[in-house]
Amino acid sequence: MLTEATTKVFIVDDSFPIRERLEGMLAEIKGVSVVGSAESPALAIKGIANTRPDSVVLDIHLRGGSGIEVLKGMGTIAPEVIFIVLTNYPNPQYRKAYLEAGASYFLDKTTEFEKVVEIIAALGATRH
């Protein structure tokens, strides 16, 4: 029996409405499954390690820490995970720091929110 490959996504954002909105948007992409979410670095690292997603949508500012902690914590544990930073703080210094720490994408929440869907759909298409 053949089963369709699923692209697994984990969402890390301190805002419940943002996590909920992203989950709803991603659920509409065929072959994509949101496998978990977290609002703090510690919960994110634990959740990502447990669910082994293909990609993670990551905010910069989290409860009790930052997204950079997640990137640094996951870099050696799961180097194959694609990190998509989605932030309200698209400053050049953040962009540089996050890309150097292992993020594959760095997006502005105010102007590029929908781009997350495009990126994850494209990543899923390359897996099939």
Counting the structural domains of the chain, the total is 1
Q: Please, are residues 25 and 36 in contact by the beta-carbon 8 Å criterion? A: no
Cα 74 to Cα 6, 44, 78, 80, distances in angstroms: 21, 9, 6, 10
What was the pLDDT predicted at 10?
A: 97
Is residue 4 one of the residues assigned to a domain? no
Is residue 18 one of the residues assigned to a domain? no
This prediction's pTM: 0.92
Q: For the chain of 128 residues, list the mean pLDDT of each consecutive stretch of 10.
A: 72 97 94 96 96 96 96 82 95 96 96 95 74
Is residue 108 one of the residues assigned to a domain? yes
Is residue 2 one of the residues assigned to a domain? no
Q: Please, are residues 78 and 30 in contact by the beta-carbon 8 Å criterion? A: no
**Cα–Cα distance measured from residue 21 to residue 59, given in angstroms and rounded to the nearest whole number:** 14
DSSP reduced 3-state for 23:
helix
Quick one: the chain helix, strand, coil %, rounded to 5?
A: 45, 25, 30
Is residue 79 one of the residues assigned to a domain? yes
Indicate which CATH number applies to the domain containing 63.
3.40.50.2300
Is residue 121 one of the residues assigned to a domain? yes
What was the pLDDT predicted at 5?
A: 64
Host domain of residue 65: 28-127
Is residue 5 one of the residues assigned to a domain? no
